[in-house]
Amino acid sequence: MKPIYLDYGATSPVRSEVLEVMIPYFQNEYGNPGSIHDAGQRAYDAIQYARVQVAQALGAESAREILFTSSGTESNNLAIIGAARLQRSKGNHIITSKIEHPSVLETCQYLEQEGFQVTYLDVDSFGSVHIDNLKNAITDQTILVTIMAANNEVGTIQSIAEMGQLLKETPILFHTDAIQYIGKVPFTVDQLGVDLLSIGGHKIYGPKGVGALYIRKGTKIEPIMFGGGQERRLRPSTLNTPLIVGFGVACQLAVQEAKSESQRLTSLRNDCWQRIQDEIGNVELNGHPVLRLPNNLNLSFDRVEGQAILLELNRSQIYVSSGSACSAGKHRASHVLKAMGKSDDIAHQSLRITFGKETTENDIHLFIESSKQALHYLRSLMI
Ligand SMILES: *Cc1c(COP(=O)(O)O)cnc(C)c1O
């Protein structure tokens, strides 16, 4: 049996259209895009083309608003540190949420050491940030708000557009981590009302190790790395032509297909969830029932640890993710589920299943059959 990959929230395969456009830039077109000769200029032109593709995918006004980085993580670091440090004379307060990806949370924690004050907003039991909480957290010292568009663990989608509307009336910069969101839900940067937005390649069938930061015209940040003058001096280092060229195509296709793919995945996901309730039962859905990524299910099966189910499914070559990692016999519960007010038990039981392009109805059927067996076996071990 072919392995069944249900972990698209962790990463996705490079699609053939992306691989194809990258190959020439690994093989023949290796010029440095900063070089003046033709080999360099061909690489430069390819990068500029990708920049336009990314700008169009985001509905940005100009390709100049797109900065290429090495990852979603780097885009988040650069947006938050770069914006905070440059705005330091105007204030020292940053607002984020308790359920952000570590690349945002740990960056904010780091900035606390530099003297910034950070408010970590609570979420409700669905993982939603309430706009009133955001409103109440704003002070005359607030310079930056960073809230993720969609959560990678539980899939909850935030009302970024509503927050953007609120923040538009203020000089406060607004950043969102849209790394899980892009390609799943159609949007433009103007609809969201953001000044800064992070995306990455490998969650949208692009290569790993490449990302972009959208910086709205007029928004000022400072670099966090120093070197050559690339990317308007904001992100030095020789640009990775093949990955950027592939990323451009991945963004373009992800956004073109967002609507139809999201409809297909929502229907697959809803059928899967219905069958799990009907045929397995004793299960809780984590995250928002409706405002969630179309490809995400985060489940807690009563009395059984997520990691135990993961390992059982792995024996049948079905790949999923669990909410807590067990290292050296110690469990660390997900900070997201804890922030949602879930018990330690529910947090440790959490199992994340994320669907993608290659997922078929038959995969879901096999996943459910294997899960039934796994749960039956694991529960039989208990007294
Ligand atoms: C994957 C992910 C990241 C990190 O992106 P990398 O490109 O792997 O560095 C950040 N935020 C969210 C929400 C993610 O899902």
* For residue 178, pLDDT beyond 60: yes
Per-residue pLDDT tens for 318-354? 999 997 665 555 568 899 999 999 999 999 999 999 9
Query: How would you class 22 by CB atoms within 10 Å of its CB: exposed for 0-12, middle for 13-18, buried for 19 or more?
Result: buried
Instruction: Sort 251 into a burial class: Cβ within 10 Å, 0-12 / 13-18 / 19+.
Output: buried
Place 111 in a pLDDT band, splitting at 50, 70 and 90. very high
Which mutation among 160, 180, 197 tests ligand 1's pocket best, with the greatest number of atoms within 8 A of CB? 180
Determine whether the shortest distance from the Cβ of 103 to ligand 1 is under 6 A. Answer: yes
**Mutation choice for ligand 1 from 96, 101, 104, CB with most ligand atoms inside 8 A:** 101
Tell me, in angstroms, the distance from the centre of ligand 1 to residue 72's CA: 5
Q: What mean pLDDT comes out for the span 198-209?
A: 98
Specify whether 108 is catalytic.
no
The mean pLDDT of 295-316, rounded to a whole number, is 97
Q: How many helices (H) does the chain have, and how many strands (E)? A: 12, 15
Pocket test for ligand 1, best of 179, 180, 181 (most atoms within 8 A of CB): 179
Q: Is the pLDDT of residue 310 over 80?
A: yes
**pLDDT classification of 1: cutoffs 50, 70, 90:** confident
Q: How far is the CA of 320 from the centre of ligand 1 (A)?
A: 17
Q: What is the predicted pLDDT for the residue at 382?
A: 82
Task: Judge if the beta carbon of residue 101 lies within 6 A of ligand 1.
Answer: yes
Residue 200 near ligand 1, beta carbon < 6 Å: yes
Residue whose C-alpha is closest to residue 94's, from 119, 123, 131, 122: 119
Distance 199 CA to ligand 1 centre (A): 8
**Matching fold, domains 4-11+258-381 and 16-254:** no
Q: Convert the pLDDT of each residue in 74-85 to its tens digit.
A: 999 999 999 999
Cα 243 to Cα 76, 152, 179, 184: the distances in Å are 19, 23, 17, 21
Question: Among the residues of the chain, which ranges form H helices?
Answer: 16-27, 38-58, 72-86, 102-113, 131-137, 160-168, 189-192, 241-279, 306-315, 335-339, 344-349, 361-380
Mean pLDDT calculated for residue range 26-34: 97
Q: Is 167 exposed, middle or buried (0-12, 13-18, 19+ CB in 10 A)?
A: buried
Token pair recorded at residue 221: 């940040």
Mean model confidence pLDDT for the chain: 96
Average pLDDT over residues 297-321: 97
Q: Which ligand 1 atom sits closest to the C-alpha of 203?
A: 1
Q: How many A from CA of 191 to the centre of ligand 1? A: 22
Residue 258: pLDDT band with limits 50, 70, 90: very high
The CATH number given to 16-254 is 3.40.640.10
- Pocket lining: 176 vs ligand 1, CB cutoff 6 Å: no
Measure 73 CA to ligand 1 centroid, in angstroms: 6
Q: Where are the domains of the chain?
A: 4-11+258-381, 16-254
179 touches ligand 1 (CB under 6 Å)? yes
What is the Å distance from ligand 1's center to 200 Cα? 7
Give pLDDT, residue 167: 98
Check pocket membership of 100 for ligand 1, CB cut-off 6 A.
no
Separation CA 78–CA 214 (nearest Å): 11
Question: Does ligand 1 lie within 6 Å of residue 324's CB atom?
Answer: no
The CB of 72 under 6 Å from ligand 1? The reply is yes
Q: Using CA positions, which residue lies closest to atom 14 of ligand 1?
A: 179
> What mean pLDDT do residues 40-57 have?
98
Asked whether residue 97 carries a pLDDT value surpassing 90, the answer given is yes
Model pTM?
A: 0.97
Q: Would you place residue 358 in the very low, low, confident or very high pLDDT band (cuts 50, 70, 90)?
A: very high
Fold topology of 4-11+258-381 = Aspartate Aminotransferase, domain 1 (3.90.1150)
